[in-house]
Amino acid sequence: MKTLILKTASNYLLPVLLVFSVFILLRGHYLPGGGFVGGLIAAIAFVLHAFANGLDNTKGLLRFHPGFLMPIGLGLAFLSGLAPVLGLDDPFMTGLWFPDPFPVIGNVGSALFFDIGVYLVVVGVTLTIIFTISESA
Amino acid sequence: MTQQLIFYPLLLQMLLAILLMFFWRKINIQRVISMLGSIVHLAVSIGVFAYVWNNGTQTVQAGSWEAPFGITFVADTFAMTMVLLTSIAGLAVSIFSSGSVIGDRLRFGYFPIFHFLLLGLTGAFLTGDIFNLYVWFEIIIISSFVLITIGGEKAQLEGAVKYFTLNFLASMIFLTAIAVLYGLTGSLNMADLANKVAAVENRALVEITAILFLIGFGIKSAIFPLYFWLPASYHTPPSAVSAIFGGLLTKVGVYALIRVFTLIFVGDVFLDQILLVLAIFTLFSGALGALVQNNIRKVFSYLIICHIGYMIIGLGMFTEVAIAGTIFYLVHDIVVKTNLFMISGLVYRIKGSNSMRALGGFYANYPMLSLLMFIPLFSLVGIPPLSGFWPKISLITASFDSESYWSLAAIIFASFITLVVIAKLWAEVFWKDATEIPERPKFRYYHKIKNIKKVQIIVPIVFLSLVSLYIGFGAEHIQTLSTRIASELMDNQQYIDAVLNPQITK
pLDDT tens across A55-71, in order? 888 888 888 888 899 99
Asked if B14 lies within 8 A of A92 by C-beta distance, the reply is no
Successive 10-residue mean pLDDT values, chain B, 506 residues: 81 94 90 95 96 91 86 93 96 93 87 95 95 96 92 87 92 96 93 92 91 94 89 90 92 94 88 92 93 92 94 92 95 95 92 86 88 92 88 92 90 94 92 81 82 91 95 93 94 89 62
Q: What is the chain A residue with the closest CA to B2?
A: A89
Asked if A91 lies within 8 A of B15 by C-beta distance, the reply is no
Q: How many CB atoms lie within 10 A of CB B257?
A: 24
Chain A nearest C-alpha distance from B4 (Å): 6
- What's the rounded Cα separation, in Å, for the pair B405 and B408? 5
User: Is the distance from CB of B308 to CB of B223 less than 8 angstroms?
Assistant: yes
Asked if B11 lies within 8 A of A92 by C-beta distance, the reply is yes
| pLDDT the model gives residue B329 | 95
SS3 string, B177-221, reads HHHHHHHHHCCCEHHHHHHHHHHCCCHHHHHHHHHHHHHHHHHHH
| pLDDT the model gives residue A1 | 58
Q: How many CB atoms lie within 10 A of CB B186?
A: 11
pTM over the 0.90 mark: yes
Least CB–CB distance from A91: residue in B14, B18, B64 = B64
ipTM of the complex in this document: 0.91
| pLDDT the model gives residue B2 | 64
**Which residues in chain A are closer than 8 Å to B14, comparing Cβ atoms?**
78
Q: How many CB atoms lie within 10 A of CB B64?
A: 14
Considering its fold, how many domains does chain B have in total?
A: 1
Q: State the angle between helix axes of B475-490 and B250-263 in degrees (0 to 180), rounded to the nearest 10.
A: 40
Least CB–CB distance from A94: residue in B1, B18, B63 = B63
| pLDDT the model gives residue B151 | 82
Asked if A70 lies within 8 A of B14 by C-beta distance, the reply is no
User: Is the distance from CB of B146 to CB of B222 less than 8 angstroms?
Assistant: no
- What's the rounded Cα separation, in Å, for the pair A77 and B308? 38
**B1 shares contact with chain A (CB less than 8 Å):** yes
How does B312-347 read in b/e, with b if 16+ C-beta sit within 10 Å?
A: bbbbbbbbebbbbbbbbbbbbbbbbbbbbbbbbbbb
Asked if A89 lies within 8 A of B3 by C-beta distance, the reply is yes
Question: H or E segment at B58?
Answer: strand B58-61
Q: What is the chain B residue with the closest CA to A76?
A: B18
**Which residues in chain B are closer than 8 Å to A75, comparing Cβ atoms?**
18, 22
Mutate to test the interface with A, among B64, B65, B74, B107 (most CBs of A within 10 A): B64
Say which amino acid occupies B458.
I
Asked if B18 lies within 8 A of A90 by C-beta distance, the reply is no
What rounded mean pLDDT belongs to chain A?
89
- What's the rounded Cα separation, in Å, for the pair B181 and B405? 35
- Its domain, for residue B433, covers 2-505
Asked if B21 lies within 8 A of A78 by C-beta distance, the reply is no
- Its domain, for residue A62, covers 4-136
- What's the rounded Cα separation, in Å, for the pair B66 and B215? 31
Asked if B21 lies within 8 A of A70 by C-beta distance, the reply is yes
Phi/psi class of residue A106: alpha, beta or left (left: φ > 0; alpha: ψ in -120 to 50)?
A: left
Collapse the DSSP code of A92 into the 3-class scheme (helix H, G, I; strand E, B; otherwise coil) and give the result: coil
Mutate to test the interface with B, among A74, A90, A92, A128 (most CBs of B within 10 A): A92
**Residues 6 or more apart from A7 whose CB is under 8 A from it?**
A52, A53
Gyration radius (Cα) of chain B, Å: 22
User: Is the distance from CB of A77 to CB of B20 less than 8 angstroms?
Assistant: no
Q: State the angle between helix axes of B405-425 and B269-292 in degrees (0 to 180), rounded to the nearest 10.
A: 20
How does A45-75 read in b/e, with b if 16+ C-beta sit within 10 Å?
A: bbbbbbebbeeeebbeebeeebbbbbbbbbb
**B152 shares contact with chain A (CB less than 8 Å):** no
Asked if A92 lies within 8 A of B1 by C-beta distance, the reply is no
User: Is the distance from CB of A90 to CB of A9 less than 8 angstroms?
Assistant: no
Chain B segment 5-64 residues within 8 A of A by beta carbon are 7, 11, 14-15, 17-18, 21-22, 24, 60-64
∠B484-B485-B489 over CA atoms, to 5°?
120
| pLDDT the model gives residue B503 | 66
- B456, B369, B465, B353: which is closest to B106 by C-alpha? B456
How many CA atoms are closer than 13 Å to the CA of B477, on its beta-carbon side?
13
**B483 shares contact with chain A (CB less than 8 Å):** no
Considering its fold, how many domains does chain A have in total?
A: 1
User: Is the distance from CB of B471 to CB of B332 less than 8 angstroms?
Assistant: yes
- B403, B386, B390: which is closest to B483 by C-alpha? B390
| pLDDT the model gives residue B504 | 53
The helices-and-strands tally (H runs, E runs) of chain A is 5, 0
Q: Residue B274 class from Cβ within 10 Å (0-12 exposed, 13-18 middle, 19+ buried)?
A: middle
